[in-house]
Chain A
Amino acid sequence: MICMLNFIFSKPLLVAHVAAAVFLHGSQLQSILGNDFSQAIATLRTIAPSENGNRQAVPAATLLQQASGADLIPVLTAMKDATPVGRNYLAMVANSLYRKSGSALNSQLDEFLQNTNNDGEARHMVLQWLTANDTKKRNEKLAYMTEDPSLELRFAAIELALTRAEDISDKASKTTRLNSLFNSARQPTQVIAIAKKLSDLGQPVDMIKHFGFVNRWNLIGPFDNIGEAHFDTVYPVESDLIGNKSSLSAEYAGKSGPARWIQHTTDNQEGVVNLAELYNKEKGAIVYAFQTFEFETAKDIELRLGTINANKVWWNGELVTSNEVYHASMEIDQYIAIAKAKPGINRLVLKLCQNEQTQGWAQDWKFQIRLCEADGTAVLPK
């Protein structure tokens, strides 16, 4: 299955339904609300972002907030594999129940936090409760979380560890510690910050490899995009690429003459390909980027694109994301598409569109894309 997601924390609805059934079957829910409690939890676990989802969620959340503080743990446990909207509802209910429970459940909550099989967002919330107004305690707990499966907890733990690494006076020890944190880090801003620290210590790291950026490309263009009119135009090169009929020796009618393939390798450590530079700051134009990847076995992957220009991405001929947005910032992992790599050759095609805005901040025409797993770990095919 290939589908486009715009947020990292989402899970397919089907998974949540199945998991809800398993969860409810395997749990002993004891509440003054009886079966209504179980049903309300089951409802919230599967809430979809929709009008109907809202209608289902409101009475369930209202009811659950009448539960006692003693019902807190089942609510937190239910966050595992719930839908993204459902997790937020359950989190807010849990927060309200925690206010009722006070510190009575702290030992159970501590166990909940330590169990990395529990939902990461729920564990993060528990960390907040257990360490409110107690920085020392918080730091003690985070000290063991630099490789936590919860990326949110891992991020917080690495932030703390970076602060502590600043106090290491021995250069070799500091470099070793920073290298370890670099390998653990997944959030892009944090990775880049650590890389800079290592570079300052004379130990540059390979960010292209760490992130899984694609840095070798076949590019062709420019094609016409005057008036932003050709975002949806299927140029012959596009149909050939999608239909796997393209040849890197082929020539196409471009914007102002024949367009031919060029090979380009970027040495930018964030995998940025600067099309404005390669195509003479052309405005009102489109360039296609193409690359193949060989996988030994099938694998679920994510294609994470960053670009300030309107874009489309195809994986093995299937459109996986489409964003007609010009000049509204560029971030690593800005657009996330879920895809499945097949054994053998896989084909990645990008369409990158520049408009004709004249402002100084609207001159960029560039992109970066990486292949990774759901937690941001680089996928490095051949």
Chain B
Amino acid sequence: MRYGLGLLLSVIPLQYASSETSQWLQFRGPAASSHQPQASPPIQFDAASGKNVSWQVDLPGRSAGGAIAVDGQVIATSSSGMDQRRIFISSVSSKTGEILWEQNIVARGRPFCHPYSANAAPTPASDGERIFAFYSSNDLVALNLKGEVVWYRSLGSEFPKAGNDTGMSSSPLVIDDTLVVQVECQGDSFAAGIDTKSGELLWKIERPHQANWSSPAPWVRQGSESMVVLTSGVDVKVVNARSGVTLATLDKGASTISSALAIDDRLYVAADGMTAYQWNATTNKLDKLWQSNKLEPGNSSPIVFGATVVALKGGVLTVADAQDGSIRYKTRLPDSGSIWSTPVVCKDNLYVFTDTGRCFVLTIGEKSAEIVATNELGEMVLGSPAVSDDSLLVRSNTKLWKIAKSE
């Protein structure tokens, strides 16, 4: 495969327009909520005609992850070449689609993965000053916004039994100046907190020796310490983000693909369908609120907005009451194929990308959901879209897209 580089040969301008609603700094965006209430991306768009496609750009390899938006830059990772060992980080101008800079190195850990996936499977993350790119091979790179290396850890070399030859895909999380990675497999299985500035290991805890693809979820409660939720096939663990100290543990198996979601004092976990917990500040325990077998996220992670909780499985969207888990209704997405990405909610619209590159846009009502548009990108999408202002940033198999209203 050709590594088409479009390097910016001059000094990179650092002054990019940014606002709170333009930043989408990690997998599932702000607070991992998959929710951007102020944004209004186009309802309709089409790759073939170019309708509401601001730009599309070829990237130097494949990816199963999503893109992020940082200070006017759209950041995406790729892998290509022999055994997908060549791994890339690309910065693209959100305004023009021009490639601003690219970095690439050779994966030092295990690069193997299912042909459907890619070494570049996790979604990158950022703290607004640095970019953190993580790969199935457990290579972990920190760059500044000019694309210069800040630090680099080859976790696959430091922990040689870390890896899953089906492919790893847990996305890193930035919280409280700590980069949290969840490297769970049958070999060296652990979660770790790494200082975002220095790359030094702050904490490392052993995790169940089972394959797991779910991502660490942030839990920031008002007036409380920053917490991280780690879910696996055998447990749910809440740890302090900066120290890794365990704050609560449930001996309950959760999905090994879908990730948890924490909002305010509540935690939603894909376990026994879906189970909601309340943080008990008195006992420092998780009190179970409700559980519903009928509300099971498949590959996607749960979404909660307002009093509504949404789960997507097998092309069926289940909408329920977030207070008690009672089912409001189900909607089947026609010819949906497989869905691996987590949808995003903008205002009342839900954007669902399938693995064929089809995007269903649904208006989520109290009693029913209406499919208001079915759009086609024409290329496989496995990663979750990012939302930046009124645009969607979509990483498809080989391309990066900006979906925004045509001027």
A51 to B155, CA, bound (A): 10
Restricting to A53-98, which residues have a CB under 8 Å from any CB of B?
Answer: 54-55, 57-58, 61-62, 65, 84-85, 87-89, 91-93, 95-96, 98
A11 to B317, CA, bound (A): 51
- Among B14-22, B157-165, B248-256, the stretch that binds chain A is B157-165
A352 to B150, CA, bound (A): 43
Q: Least Cβ distance of A178 to chain B in Å?
A: 19
**Cβ of B385 under 8 Å from chain A:** no
Q: Is A54 within 8 A of B8, CB to CB?
A: no
**Cβ of A187 under 8 Å from chain B:** yes
A85 with B157, Cβ < 8 A, contacts A9-B108, A96-B149, A155-B82 known? yes
Q: Is A152 within 8 A of B108, CB to CB?
A: no
Most buried by B among A61, A98, A121, A325: A325
**Cβ of A238 under 8 Å from chain B:** no
**Cβ of B9 under 8 Å from chain A:** yes
Q: Is B108 within 8 A of A10, CB to CB?
A: yes
Q: Is A88 within 8 A of B157, CB to CB?
A: no
User: Which A residues touch B154, using CB under 8 A?
Assistant: 49, 84-85, 88
User: Which A residues touch B141, using CB under 8 A?
Assistant: 92
User: Which A residues touch B160, using CB under 8 A?
Assistant: 4, 6
Q: Is A133 within 8 A of B5, CB to CB?
A: yes
A6 with B110, Cβ < 8 A, contacts A58-B151, A329-B166 known? yes
User: Which B residues touch A54, using CB under 8 A?
Assistant: 151-153, 198-200
**Cβ of B13 under 8 Å from chain A:** no
Q: Least Cβ distance of A334 to chain B in Å?
A: 6
Closest to B197 in A: A58
User: Which A residues touch B211, using CB under 8 A?
Assistant: 328
**Cβ of A99 under 8 Å from chain B:** yes
User: Which B residues touch A328, using CB under 8 A?
Assistant: 164-166, 185-186, 211
- The interface bits of chain B over 1-14 (1 if a CB of A lies within 8 angstroms of the residue's CB, else 0) are 11111111110100
Q: Is A89 within 8 A of B5, CB to CB?
A: no
**Cβ of B366 under 8 Å from chain A:** no
**Cβ of A117 under 8 Å from chain B:** no
Restricting to B104-126, which residues have a CB under 8 Å from any CB of A?
Answer: 104-110, 112-114
Q: Is B8 within 8 A of A99, CB to CB?
A: yes
Q: Least Cβ distance of B149 to chain A in Å?
A: 4
Q: Is B83 within 8 A of A187, CB to CB?
A: yes
**Cβ of A156 under 8 Å from chain B:** yes
A132 with B105, Cβ < 8 A, contacts A155-B81, A328-B164 known? no
User: Which A residues touch B164, using CB under 8 A?
Assistant: 328-329
Q: Is B158 within 8 A of A7, CB to CB?
A: no
**Cβ of A290 under 8 Å from chain B:** no
Q: Is A93 within 8 A of B157, CB to CB?
A: no
Q: Is B152 within 8 A of A57, CB to CB?
A: yes
Q: Is B2 within 8 A of A92, CB to CB?
A: no
**Cβ of A138 under 8 Å from chain B:** yes
Number of A-B residue pairs having CB atoms within 8 Å of each other in the complex = 148
User: B104: which of A4, A50, A125 is its contact (CB, 8 Å)?
Assistant: A125
Q: Is B158 within 8 A of A49, CB to CB?
A: yes
**Cβ of B148 under 8 Å from chain A:** yes
**Cβ of A151 under 8 Å from chain B:** yes
Q: Least Cβ distance of A52 to chain B in Å?
A: 10
**Cβ of B374 under 8 Å from chain A:** no
User: Which A residues touch B108, using CB under 8 A?
Assistant: 7, 9-10, 49, 84-85, 88
User: B150: which of A55, A58, A152, A156 is its contact (CB, 8 Å)?
Assistant: A58
Q: Is B152 within 8 A of A98, CB to CB?
A: no
A10 to B109, CA, bound (A): 10
**Cβ of A129 under 8 Å from chain B:** yes
Q: Is B6 within 8 A of A84, CB to CB?
A: no
- The interface bits of chain B over 219-261 (1 if a CB of A lies within 8 angstroms of the residue's CB, else 0) are 0000000000000000000000000000000000000000000
Closest to B209 in A: A324
Restricting to B125-158, which residues have a CB under 8 Å from any CB of A?
Answer: 139, 141, 143, 146-154, 156-158
A331 to B163, CA, bound (A): 14
Q: Is B85 within 8 A of A152, CB to CB?
A: yes
**Cβ of A323 under 8 Å from chain B:** yes
Q: Is B110 within 8 A of A129, CB to CB?
A: no
Sample of 12 more A-B contacts, CB < 8 Å, known A88-B108, A88-B154, A95-B102 = A6-B163, A54-B152, A54-B153, A55-B200, A58-B151, A96-B148, A128-B104, A152-B106, A324-B187, A329-B114, A329-B165, A334-B112
Give me the 7 closest cross-chain CB pairs, A-B, nearest first.
A49-B157, A329-B165, A132-B5, A92-B149, A88-B105, A155-B82, A325-B186
Sampled A-B contacts (14; CB under 8 Å): A6-B157, A6-B161, A9-B108, A10-B108, A58-B151, A91-B104, A92-B103, A93-B149, A95-B103, A128-B3, A133-B6, A323-B161, A323-B187, A328-B165
